[in-house]
C-alpha cells in the first residue's frame, strides 16, 4: 500500500476498533467475552516489595559472531524508601556459529538444550532467576514486581513458571507483571488506549479503574489472569497487569496502586522505575566491556587489525563518506 492507503487503514482501525480481543504474540490467552470497567480502590503499600528488570547491550558484532552483555537488577522497597539496589552481575555471552550452545549451558536453566538460543532468551532467564530469588526472600504479605508480563520466553517450560507461582502462593507473596507498552488489541486497534478513553467517558477523567481482559488457557499450565488498570488519578496511562489466576485482583491492584503515586512516574510502580534505571546497560557499559576484552586480546596476541576487520561497522563507515 502507498502512504495514503496505509494511513487510511490505520485511521479506520484507530477510530472504529470493532472486533474481537487478541494479543499480537498469540501467547495462549483466553479472552473475556466482554469487558466491564470497575472502580479501583487504593489500599496500603505492601510491607515488602521487590522489583526486577533486565537490560542488555550489544558489545560487538561480526555478523557471524556477536558479543552481548545482559544483567538482571533487583530493587527492594520498604517503609516508603528504597533499601536495596542490586544492579546484578554482567553476564557476557558469545552468540553465533554454534557458540550459543555454550552460552545456554553456562546458565543451568530448565530450557531444552536443543532449543534455539538468542539474547532474548538469555536475558529473560536471568530476569526470572532474579524473580525466583526475590520470591524466596520476600516477607509474607509482600509483592514481587516484574517488568513485563508473567509469561516467560516460550522456551522456558511452563512447568517452571507453574512451580514458581505455587511457591509464591505458599509463601503468601503476590507476583505481578506490569507491561509498559502492551500488544493487546481489539479489532486490531490498541486495546489499552481505547479503554482509557472509554473509562474517561464512563467513570470520569480522574477515576482509577480496572477490568479483567483474559486468562491463560488450561492447557498452557501456568494459571494467570490479565487485567488492564489505571492505578493513579494523575496517571496519563493505564497498564496491562498480569496476576496469578487465584489472586484477589482488586486487593492486589489496590496494593499496587499504593506504589504508583510518585510525582515523576504517576500510575507506574515506583520500585519498577528504579529497577529499570538500575538495569539499563548504557553506552559506557558496552565500552567498558569492550575495553576489558581488548586487554585480554592484547594478552592473547590478537592483532588490532584483526579485531578491526572483524568488528568494524562498514555501514556506518560508508554513511560517513
Q: pLDDT tens for residues 144-180?
A: 999 999 999 999 999 999 999 999 999 999 999 999 8
| Nearest-angstrom CA–CA distance, 202 and 37 | 9
- For residue 163, which of 120, 137, 128 has the smallest C-alpha distance? 128
H-type alpha helices, 88-182: 100-105, 119-137, 158-170
Q: For domain 21-281, which CATH number applies: 1.10.3470, 3.30.2170, 2.20.28, 3.90.15? A: 3.30.2170
Comparing CA positions, the residue from 61, 95, 119, 96 lying closest to residue 313 is 61
Q: How far from the centroid of its chain's Cα atoms is residue 25's Cα?
A: 14
Phi, psi of 200 (to 5 degrees): -60, -40
Residues of the chain with confidence (pLDDT) below 70? 16-19, 24-27, 218-222, 313-321
Tens digit of pLDDT for each residue in 117-153?
A: 999 999 999 999 999 999 999 999 999 999 999 999 9
pLDDT score recorded for residue 186:
83
pLDDT of residue 318: 45
**Could you give the C-alpha distances from 194 to 135, 233, 237, 240, in angstroms and in order?**
34, 17, 11, 13
CATH 3.30.2170 in the chain: give the residue spans: 21-281
Which residue(s) pair with 179 in the sheet? 240
| Distance from C-alpha of 118 to C-alpha of 14, rounded to nearest angstrom | 34
Whether pTM exceeds 0.75: yes
Write down the pLDDT at residue 189: 81
66 contacts 161 by C-beta, under 8 angstroms:
no
The label of the residue with cell 517503609 reads: 79
pLDDT of residue 264: 85
Amino acid at each position: 500500500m502507498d502512504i495514503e492507503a496505509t494511513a487510511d487503514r490505520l485511521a479506520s482501525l484507530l477510530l472504529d476498533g470493532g472486533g474481537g480481543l487478541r494479543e499480537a504474540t498469540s501467547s495462549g490467552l483466553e479472552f473475556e467475552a466482554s469487558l466491564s470497567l470497575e472502580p479501583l480502590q487504593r489500599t496500603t503499600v505492601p510491607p515488602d516489595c521487590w522489583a526486577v528488570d533486565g537490560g542488555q547491550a550489544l558489545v560487538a558484532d561480526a555478523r557471524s559472531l556477536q558479543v552481548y552483555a545482559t544483567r538482571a537488577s533487583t530493587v527492594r522497597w520498604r517503609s516508603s524508601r528504597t533499601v536495596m539496589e542490586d544492579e546484578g552481575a554482567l553476564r557476557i555471552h558469545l552468540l553465533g556459529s554454534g557458540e550459543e550452545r555454550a552460552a545456554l549451558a553456562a546458565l543451568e536453566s530448565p530450557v531444552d538444550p536443543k532449543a534455539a538460543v538468542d539474547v532474548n532468551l538469555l536475558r529473560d532467564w536471568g530476569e526470572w532467576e532474579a524473580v525466583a530469588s526475590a520470591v524466596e526472600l520476600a516477607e509474607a504479605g509482600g509483592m514481587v514486581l516484574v517488568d513485563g508480563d508473567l509469561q516467560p520466553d516460550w522456551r522456558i517450560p511452563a512447568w517452571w513458571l507453574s512451580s514458581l507461582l505455587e511457591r509464591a502462593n505458599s509463601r503468601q507473596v503476590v507476583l505481578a507483571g506490569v507491561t509498559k507498552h502492551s500488544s493487546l488489541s481489539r479489532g486490531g486497534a490498541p486495546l489499552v488506549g481505547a479503554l482509557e478513553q472509554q473509562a474517561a467517558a464512563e467513570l470520569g477523567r480522574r477515576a482509577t479503574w480496572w477490568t479483567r481482559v483474559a486468562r491463560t488457557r488450561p492447557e498452557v499450565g501456568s494459571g494467570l489472569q490479565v487485567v488492564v488498570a489505571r492505578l493513579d488519578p494523575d496517571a496519563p496511562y493505564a497498564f496491562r497487569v498480569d496476576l496469578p489466576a487465584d489472586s484477589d485482583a482488586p486487593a492486589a491492584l489496590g496494593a499496587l496502586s499504593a506504589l504508583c503515586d510518585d510525582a515523576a512516574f504517576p500510575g507506574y510502580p515506583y520500585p519498577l522505575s528504579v529497577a529499570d534505571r538500575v538495569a539499563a546497560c548504557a553506552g559506557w557499559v558496552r565500552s567498558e566491556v569492550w575495553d576489558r576484552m581488548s586487554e585480554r586480546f592484547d594478552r592473547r596476541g590478537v592483532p588490532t587489525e584483526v579485531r578491526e576487520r572483524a568488528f568494524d561497522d562498514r555501514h556506518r563507515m560508508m554513511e560517513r563518506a
